[in-house]
């Protein structure tokens, strides 16, 4: 009985871990629409909504004509998380980044 309970507990924990996003990965969430939506998103009113395909990557709005931060690539007016990236980025405000983040152009990228 104890072994069966232990195996069920381990399987449940594994399923929970698999369903969580990777730590530090750019969140996949609706974005304000700026021109066309990025790859993997569709238009809904004034927003770009992540598709349900499961292949959609986290995105951030591109800052003007700047390049994307480390671990991201350009898709229209957005920067999409690269396929193997576990990085999270935010737009930089001012000249420095918060503690635990480093500067990458006009963005701050979270340290791993």
Structure tokens at 27: 């969140």
14 within some domain: no
pLDDT tens-place string over residues 10-68: 343 333 333 334 446 899 999 999 999 999 999 999 999 999 887 899 999 998 778 99
- Residue bearing the bigger pLDDT, 5 or 42: 42
Domain span at residue 38?
21-87
- Measured CA to CA, the distance from residue 39 to residue 44 in angstroms comes to 14
pLDDT computed for residue 66 by the predictor: 81
- Measured CA to CA, the distance from residue 106 to residue 66 in angstroms comes to 7
69 within some domain: yes
Q: What is the tally of structural domains in the chain?
A: 1
pLDDT tens-place string over residues 58-103: 999 998 778 999 999 999 999 999 988 899 999 999 999 999 999 9
């Amino acid at each position: 009985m104890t072994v069966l309970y232990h195996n069920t507990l381990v399987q449940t924990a594994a399923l929970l871990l698999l369903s969580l996003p990777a730590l530090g990965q750019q969140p996949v969430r609706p974005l304000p629409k700026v021109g066309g939506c990025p790859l993997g998103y569709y238009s809904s009113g004034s927003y770009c909504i992540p598709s349900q395909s499961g292949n959609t990557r986290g995105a951030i709005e591109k800052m003007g004509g700047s390049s994307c931060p480390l671990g991201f690539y350009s898709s229209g007016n957005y920067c999409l998380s690269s396929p193997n990236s576990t990085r999270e980025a935010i737009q930089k405000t001012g000249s420095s980044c918060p503690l635990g983040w480093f500067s990458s152009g006009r963005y701050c990228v979270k340290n791993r």
